[in-house]
Amino acid sequence: MTTYRFNVFNRDQTVAAIQSVVLGTPGALWRKVAEIAWNVGESGGQIRVTDQAGQVVVLVGVNSARRACGPFVEPSDESTRAA
């Protein structure tokens, strides 16, 4: 498990910052990037993700993340219940 810090920038200003998100897989990292891209409400800007050591592990434009990751859909209780 690795702790990541997510920041959303628009013209050198931080629009949103999420600290200390612990994720176990690269897939979980990209799901979080997709969630942020769709929920930030900003067109344009960048999402920067750094690891515990402060190294940049993801730097992607919000619009590019939306195109690459597709629409983010919140998991619902209905989809996880057995029929």
Q: Letter for the amino acid at 72? A: F
Residue 36 burial (CB < 10 Å; 0-12/13-18/19+)? Answer: buried
The pLDDT of residue 29: 84
- Please check whether residue 31 lies inside any domain of the structure: yes
52-75: average pLDDT:
82
41-62 pLDDT, tens digit each: 766 789 999 988 899 999 999 8
Among 58, 79, 80, 56, which residue's Cα sits nearest to residue 69? 58
**Structural domain count of the chain:** 1
Task: Give residue 41's domain range.
Answer: 2-73
Q: Is residue 79 part of a domain?
A: no
Q: Is residue 78 part of a domain?
A: no
Question: What Rg value do the Cα atoms of the chain yield, rounded?
Answer: 14
